[in-house]
Structure 1
Amino acid sequence: MAGTGFSNSMVVAELRYIQSVREAREFKNPDTWVRRFIPTFRRWQCALLSSRKLADLRSDPFYYYLVARTEYYDRLFLNAIEDNVRFIINVGCGTDTRPYRFNDALEKKGIKVLECDQPVAIAQKEEMSRRQGVFDHVAYMSVNLNDAAWPELESWLSRNRTGKGFVFMEGVSPYVNTDTFDRFLSLLAKELLPGSRVAYDFKLNGVKDDFGRTGRTQHPFRLPAARETISDYHKKFGYRLEHMELGSELSVRLLAGIKQMGAALFEEDALLQLEVMD
């Protein structure tokens, strides 16, 4: 949850939009709704981006990884709906559009969505969302993961312990201190019912260790790539590791032809899915 505003998140929104209108089918970002969160002039600039600037974007390994990561969390979100969770919480929601793109499926099953981000960012997100229509199933809450505690969120979780939940954090953990992220994982394991799921991605140890180190974040959250170590780390909080995948592996799995195209793979991150144990 970098900074206090929408700057990083809007950059990601613009990349998703560019990918949704400028890429071939196999590399197209599925988030076509995000255009509604981008100011008209900036949207035109993105749509009319020069071939040279587009080539520069494509040369960054994060560019194609973002397509894969978007599709990955889309599938987890839809899987949670199919699993009949009672609520979904998006921590560090930024310009995420899933509660609106998948509005019909959520409303059909009566699933609540809680969007969380830092104070300025969540206020902007709520204002932008209100302009797009009425989404009674979505609520908004100010949450900063670098705080010492989160009493409002803890209270919300206690009131909504009526069934399983799904909590996800896309692109969030590198901007959070290790000790507070640990406490947050512990809180979720304590408050979520067994069978609930938590998903997030993280930067690998030894890769861009200074990434995210700004402001209150002086010891950014990192983990190693060893699956057994990852499993043991989360077990102490009360989780079972269901799935772990490197960012490079995800891109190869979801983006057909990316290796043949010769694009550089994003090798900085890993993604995991956890189940809350009894």
Structure 2
Amino acid sequence: MSGAWVAGTTRARALVRRRLGEAGVRQLARAGSFEAAVVALSTGPYGHDVRPGMNPARAQQAVAATLMWHSRVLAGWVPRQGADVLRLLARWFEIANVDALLHGADERFELGSLATSWSRLSQAGTPQALRAALASSAWGDPGGDGPREIQLGMRLSWAARVAEALDPALPWAAGAAALLVARERFLERRELNPRASDRVTTLLGAKAPHAPSLPDMTARLPVAASWALEGLDEPEHLWRGEVRCWRRIDRDGHALLAGSAFRLEPVVGALAVLAADAWRTRAALARLARGVRDDDAQA
């Protein structure tokens, strides 16, 4: 047994206690105002980055930045194998940075040693240059230089790589990819470019991405992906699939944390639980910013 795994797993289990949890998010959702909720967050588990007075966009960014900080902390405690997996999972933050770059937003996540290609991507001055930088990196060619093609291509690339490298995350990645493709085709009414179609085949099969309707797509999906879309017959209901995905990630994360083993699985489980908590918290903030005070909210 590696001493680094003992230290990393112990640290991961300690970090899991630094979250709101479902009860805490419900309490946050009952805050008198968005401003009051931000003040409460600044004194709790998300106080590393959340500050009173933040606007909705910055507060949600700060919640995610705390998750990024937890990832960087964990990467410093685990062996190289674990750090490589955490770097792979942290590609979400690199995707978010590229989203900001494409839309001219100023906020960026500090990736540190968990960056994949951000130092190169951040220098791209045009969408064409960004596509070229992606094509020559671990991300691969998104198949187009339009903002949506780049965003979708990066997400599908990430999902495929996570599914390939991390067995416990296969259903998370496959389910998320199914939702992405379903939203693109049946809600946004956009067909996948050839590169995106090829990339998603390993996760969803060859037939599902080209199905004529949402129920047909669900029927053609492998079991690892179909769970995310089951019972969602209308594109307007796809948001429920996202909620379902995060609930499964949270549930599976807790299962990976169970037991006393010192290895990769509890570290991944801890990050999954923390990520689900951050998602719930960000969703609660978004509702409060819209003036929705939901006493029974489930983010």
Tell me the TM-score normalized by structure 2: 0.32
Higher RCO structure, 1 or 2 (CA under 8 Å, sep 6+): 2
Structure ID, larger Rg = 2
Which has the larger helix fraction?
2
Structure having the higher strand fraction is 1
